Structures are given as structure tokens and as C-alpha cells.
Amino acid sequence: MRALQRLDELYAIGGGPGANRPHGSAAEDEAHDLAAHWMREAGLAVERDSCGNLLGRSATGDDVWLGSHLDTVPQGGRFDGALGVVAAIEAVERAGAGAVVVFRGEEVGCVGSRELCAIGRDLPRAFLEAHVEQGPVLADAGAPLGVVPSIVGYARGELVFEGRAGHAGTTPMDGRDDALVAAAEAVLRIRDAARAIEGAVATVGQIEVEPGGSNVIPSRARISVDARAPDSERLDELVRAIGFEPAQRNAPAHLDEALRALLAAELTARGLPVVELPSGAGHDAGILAAAGVPSAMLFVRSLNGGVSHSPDELSSDEDVALAVDVLAGALERLAASA
């Protein structure tokens, strides 16, 4: 299948192990150039907007967009983002309608889609995004594809703790002001705050310590905070419980019911179960939905226990082919209703 070959070509960009195309890198640029080449092969008119996003428009109606992103986390997976792009190109070429969009910087806060929606012009009448599930729900349910009803909201920022440096051997324990100890206690409080709110999660993924000597009591510690919850009320509660001021915040997004029903109808027509599952990760579809663009997501079953952001990320050839079929069918229906 051509989509699978293209996934391999994208995976090779940037070098391994894993996928390494961070936002703003030459590897992300190279991936965009390769996607633009495939779009032209599909007969699409290619352009780049002022935000750096890539768009390939068909000649017979381009107000429905399909797509995703091509940037990755360090040592990321083969399918995250890239699957949605190659599946979109295949579906648009097959349907002979719609447009393919490749957003910039999804992994660092949906930079491209956020900037586009801030401008607020030339937005589509509908947006569909295929994406690997990044979890085990579909595999546990025996379902190759799933429909996403909502996308989690998140708040990101940091907490900084100040202490007093001192000699690790000569400063008594009772007299220490250790910034890292304070940060460690905060990590546990953050964990407990998320556990106390149904559906919420919180993660500390980075710790920076100064002055950084193995024999020096830390005088300063900084920890990152990533807090997520299914709705705005619970997200607000989590932020208050953690006690930090987010530098970046995304409201939870509820995806379009009519488009969800359209995807469900395509699954049913192929004899597939209709499984709905919310997304615990942010996506470009959530940004467009929050901006008022009717949007929907199709999840593709993740294997290997649902691992993602890892070279072990895996989806089957058969599931990828089904995703392309469903996207093409949904796009044909949307084009016919225009």
C-alpha cells in the first residue's frame, strides 16, 4: 500500500532511533517538502500559508480539509501525525475533492493550527483528522477504528523553588533549605491532585536543578507541569489544586456530532463496530473545533499496548487501509452535500 511506503519515507527523515522531526528543524521542512511533492503527484494545487502550514487543494471543491502534522517528539513513533497526513493525501486523491493540510508544530502546542485560527480567515467548512489512538482502548475492544467525541483540555507551565546552596557534607540536615526537596514534595502533591479528580492527569516531565553539583545542596529547582482534564471545570479545579499559573492553556474541545455520525456511518457500512473514545492528547482538530470549525477525528488502533511517542509505536497495515477507506468515503459524502 502506497500510504505505508510513504510512512517509511517520512520515518527515515531526521535519522534514528525513532522519528526525529522537531518543530522548526530542517527535518520538519524536509518532511513538508516531501508531502508537497506527493500532493502535486495527486493533482493538488500546493501552497503554504503565512503560518508555514502546507495546503494541497483539489480543483473540485476544497472547503473540506483532511490532515494532521509531521513534526515529532524526539525519538517518536512512525505513525503519530504522519499517518493522518499520508491517509489524507490518499483519501483526497481517491475522492477527487477536498484539501490536505499539514500543520506546523503540533507537538509544541499546535502552533500552526493555532496561528491559522487566530488569523480567522480562509478556514474550511469542515475538518477531519485521522490519528493513531496512542492508547490501548481500541485494541482491548477488538475494534480497528474509533470515533472521537471530545479532546482533552490541558494547561502547561512550571513551578520554581528557591533554596540556599551549601556544602553537601558540612551542612546539617536540620539546617538545610534544599530547593530540590521542595520540588520533590510538589511532584507528589501534583500526582495526588490529579488522582483526586476523575478523568484528570498531571505530569512532571522536566526537572532543572541549580547549581547542579553532586556535592552541592540545590539552591534552585524548576519543574514542568502538564495538567489535563476532560472539561473546563475539572481543568480549573486541577490547576487550582496544583497551584501554578499556566503559560499555555487549551480548552477541552467537543467534536461535531454530525461529522461523528458521518464517520460512524462509514464504519457501519463496512461492518465495523462503532467505538467512541475521548482523546487524552491534544490535536489540531481540537484547535479548529474551538475556533468554530466543525471537526471530527478518526482514531486508528494502536498495537504494542498502545505505546506512542516511541519507536515501538505500531498500527497494522490493515487498519491503516481501513482508515483511508473511511476517510475517502466520508469526504465523498461531504462533497456531495456541498
**Cα–Cα distance list, 203 to 175, 189, 190, 228, 233 (Å):** 31, 11, 8, 9, 19
Residue 1 has pLDDT above 90, yes or no: no
Residue 264 has pLDDT above 90, yes or no: yes
pLDDT band per the 50, 70, 90 thresholds, residue 121: confident
Compute and round to an integer the Cα radius of gyration of the chain: 22
Helix (H) or strand (E) holding 103: strand 99-103
pLDDT on residue 233? 96
Grid coordinates standing for 150? Answer: 471530545
Helix (H) or strand (E) holding 228: strand 220-229
Residue 88 has pLDDT above 90, yes or no: yes
Helices 257-269 and 317-336 sit at what angle, rounded to 10 degrees?
Answer: 120
Q: Alpha-carbon distance 110 to 316, whole Å? A: 27
pLDDT on residue 55? 98
At 190-206, the pLDDT tens digits run: 999 999 999 999 999 99
At 128-182, the pLDDT tens digits run: 999 999 999 999 999 999 999 999 999 999 999 999 999 999 999 999 999 999 9
Grid coordinates standing for 219? Answer: 539552591
Cα–Cα–Cα angle for 126, 272, 284, rounded to 5 degrees? 30
Q: How many residues does the chain have?
A: 338
pLDDT band per the 50, 70, 90 thresholds, residue 120: confident
At 49-63, the pLDDT tens digits run: 999 999 999 999 889
Residue 83 has pLDDT above 90, yes or no: yes
Domains and CATH numbers, the chain: 2-152+252-336 (3.40.630.10), 154-249 (3.30.70.360)
pLDDT on residue 179? 98
Give the closest residue to 199 by CA, choosing from 179, 164, 176, 227: 227
Give the residues across from 56 on adjacent strands.
46, 100
Residue 234 has pLDDT above 90, yes or no: yes
Exposure of 227 in the CB half-sphere (CA atoms within 13 A): 38
Helix (H) or strand (E) holding 262: helix 257-269
- Residues 331/64, Cβ–Cβ less than 8 Å: yes
- Residues 200/194, Cβ–Cβ less than 8 Å: yes
Task: Kindly state the DSSP code that residue 320 receives in the 8-state scheme.
Answer: H
Helices 82-95 and 317-336 sit at what angle, rounded to 10 degrees?
Answer: 50
Rounded to 5 degrees, φ, ψ at 60 are -115, 40
Q: Which residues contact 92 (CB under 8 A, 6 or more apart)?
A: 42, 44, 56, 58, 66, 98, 99, 100, 331
Q: Alpha-carbon distance 227 to 236, whole Å? A: 10
Give the residues across from 207 on adjacent strands.
223
Q: Alpha-carbon distance 36 to 29, whole Å? A: 11
Residue 40 has pLDDT above 80, yes or no: yes
Burial of 271 (0-12, 13-18, 19+ CB in 10 A): exposed
pLDDT on residue 306? 97
- Residues 189/242, Cβ–Cβ less than 8 Å: yes
Q: Alpha-carbon distance 114 to 283, whole Å? A: 11
pLDDT on residue 338? 76
**Cα–Cα distance list, 286 to 82, 251, 253 (Å):** 17, 9, 5
pLDDT on residue 201? 97
Task: Kindly state the DSSP code that residue 304 receives in the 8-state scheme.
Answer: G
The answer to whether the peptide bond before residue 211 is cis (omega within 30 degrees of 0) is: yes
